[in-house]
Structure 1
Amino acid sequence: MEQARRDLMEADEKLALKREEESANRALMDSKWQDLRNKEMLLKESFISFNKFIRENQEKRDRAQRKMEADTEVLERKTRETEAMRQRVAEMKEVKQLMEKQVRDYTIYEDYLMSVVLNYPEFKQPLDVLNRYEALAAAKATLAERQERDLEMLENARQEIAALTEEKKLFIMGLNNTLANLRWRYDKVRNRVIKWELALNRLKETAAKRHVELCHVRAAIWSLYVKICKQKGLAVEVKTSDFEQQLVVIMRALLELKRIYRIAQRRSKEKDAESLHTA
């Protein structure tokens, strides 16, 4: 009985150590779970910030797209105006050619009128012919001035279109640089997110493995406890979740088996000694 009491005390001490170790392991596991929850919250906040960044980036891209469309519309309007100006210049050239042709045609009539004045004394002065000539000269000067003004307007419009085209090219290049920078930042953030996702998956897999191992240990403890109760003819009174009491019963059974083994070993040695003495 004293030996059994000492064995029981040793078993109780070992059980106390096991309880302390279980408490420490439980505290460590709780700390790891809390750390995992904190990391999960940080990851959720990172996802929220990233979604906000994506929305803002999309809004900026939409504004840039609208600006580009407006600039394209302005450029198309200027192109149409330039084309209309070119058509007008072409019409003026046609009018000029027509007027020059008329001047050449009228020169024949002027010569004819001069010949008429020279050949016919009743025409004292070629007033009608001179008036006609002055009218043609005034018309020619007007056409030349109008042509010069139209050409100047056409040149100004061409210069404005060239300047506007160059400005829009520079603006588009700036937008492309901004878009490339945003894509680089997006890839960087995406890589970080993938890295944290992989780390989180590894942590989840490790935690799942530990949980499975713990479930297997608990199932083994319960199975051993049930077998011991059946072998001893005891009722299964301990709850399935009460692992400490199950371990107590198992430890007691192991101590009893150990004591029985020692007794049997001692008796076996005594029988062997008696057999040797008898021989």
Structure 2
Amino acid sequence: MTTSSLPVLESSDPRLKLTVENRIRNIFVTQSQDTSKRKEENVNHIPVVTETPSRVLEAGVNTLQKTLVLKKQAELDEVDQQLTLKRREFKNCVETLARRRSELEIRQHQTEERAIKFEKFVAENEAKRHRALTTYEAARELNISKQRGIEDLTEQLKQLRARHEVLKERMAKYKIYEDYLMKTLDYLPNIYLDNGSESLVMPIIRRHETLSITHRELLQRLGRLEEEVEQGQRHLPIMKQDHSIKKLMANKELSELQSELETLKEKNKKAEVNLLMEQGLCREKVKEVGCLLMAINNLAEQCYLAAYGPLENMNMLTMMDMVKEYILDKADTERRVRRLMESGSAMTSKTALTEKREKGSMKSIGSKTQIKSSSKVSRKSETMS
């Protein structure tokens, strides 16, 4: 929302000047002219304002409405000036902020580029480090192999020097024999040396060569055997460790199998005990069944009925049916006998009751007659009195 700025008034504007008439006196018109010569007493002179409006406003005197308007206009102009200054400051701040934002964007872009470059640098350094480590490992392995080769060569050199010393001592030892042989050759004739020297010396030389070759082969074989022994000694602790591990595993399996064996033995013992108990129960059951069969046979012999045929051809069920039928017949006959006995006892009890009733009736009749006779006697005595 834009605000319309008021026009700025300058100090040279004629509208800001206050024009006042130069009155000499403040008198009434009704007065005569003679009074003009009198002393001017009690006359209010209005001063003429010749100063600028801003100066008048700064003086702070009692002014008119127009002067107040001018004062407000001046204040408004001052506020407009301050507003323009604030707008300029705000515009400058916005420009500085935009400039800073652009600078920050540029710096951010630069930092991103630096970060990308740094990441590339780190990746390159990591690759270089990896390559350097690989080259270092290769060089270290090469140095180790060379060091081992140097150690082997020094060992061989020591052995050769020792062999050289031994051969030197041996040559010094056999120097006497060489001198002796050379002296003997000097004393031998030339014909003997030309004819038979080659035939005597060459077999010895060939024998020496064969012996040296076999000695060399034996030394090589000895070296191979020593290497095999060293390898066997290196593998010996590993084999011992494997053997101990296998032994522990075997002991563990053996303990598990022993525990399983003990559990199986306990189960077998329990099964044997159960079997013996079942066998005892079976024996008892067999005995009971035998006793039952003997009892059934005895009952069948005692309760034999001819309607079922001979006793030898009957099975157990028919025997039991026969015994059942016999017992039912006996029970039926016993029931009938009891009924007959109960009916006879009932008849006897009825006759006894009738006899008792007859005796009681006779006694009651006699007592009644006695009572009647006594009543008659009492009545007669009363009448007599």
Greater RCO (Cα-Cα under 8 Å, separation 6 or more): 1
TM-score, scaled relative to structure 1: 0.37
Rg larger for: 2
